[in-house]
Structures are given as C-alpha cells and as structure tokens.
Amino acid sequence: MTKKISKILVPLDGSKNSIRGLEMALTLAKNCGASITGVYSIHTPPHSEFSGLGTVDKSMTAAVNKFLESAKVLATKRNIVFHKKIVKGEIGYNIIKFAHGRGNFDMIVIGSRGRSSTKEMFFGSTSNYVIHTSKIPVLIVR
C-alpha cells in the first residue's frame, strides 16, 4: 500500500522550532511534489461580555500575516505551493480540527518546543496533543 503525500499541514507560531518544522516540510514537499498549508493558531481566551477578552488585537493579526508571508516567500523560492490560514481559539484543538476538516491533509509536520512538565519532557504541549489526537501521520521536528 502506497500513499502519496500531496498536502502537508504545518502549524506555525513564529518560534525557531516552528521554522525548523517549516524547513522540514519544505524538504518533504519538494521531494514529494506536495503543497504546504501553514496554519497559525492565535490563542484567544473564551469570550467575556464584561471585558472583551475574546478579541484579538489587529496588530497581532498583522504580525501573524507578515510571518506567514515570509513563510510563503521561502516556499515560493523552492517552487512549492504555499497556502496560509489563521485560526483563533485553543491552539491544539484548532490544528486537529483544521487537519481533519475539508483540507484532506496527508501529513502534519510540527515543531516541538518541549519546554514544560515531565509528562511533556520530549514534546511541547501542543505537539503532544496533536500527536495523540491526530488521525493522520505527524512528524515532530525538534
């Protein structure tokens, strides 16, 4: 049984490790002839009618767009099709929801920060969540 990798999802957050994940995804995409979708999930707390905490500052969205555009430039230089998507809410949940949605992705390539508790000694909390809940293959880049 052989399955062609044609669509790769890369969660991005602007960190060095997410950029390493992008670099790995670019290499895979080049070798497989795949396209990449970079998804940036902005964590937003639950909506509060009293404090307006559910809103995201416009400057944050502009900075995210700028980062995703720089990722697109890296992909374009290597002749790889790059799509971008910004989602808001719980980060791990959004990645899984987007990966399993209409996108029909073949693989997730995610950078790991590995910076919290003993349980997550080797993987970051988001990558740990993604690897344990994904129904498609996940490559963790450290």
Each residue's pLDDT tens digit, 17-76: 999 999 999 999 999 999 999 999 988 766 555 455 445 577 888 999 999 999 999 999
Burial of 75 by CB count in 10 Å (0-12 exposed, 13-18 middle, 19+ buried)?
buried
Q: How far apart are CA 28 and CA 95, in angstroms?
A: 20
- Whether this prediction's pTM lies above 0.95 is answered by no
User: Minimal CA–CA distance to 139: which of 15, 22, 34?
Assistant: 22
Say what the pLDDT of residue 46 is.
Answer: 64
User: 3-state DSSP call for residue 5?
Assistant: coil
Domains detected in the chain: 7-141 (3.40.50.620)
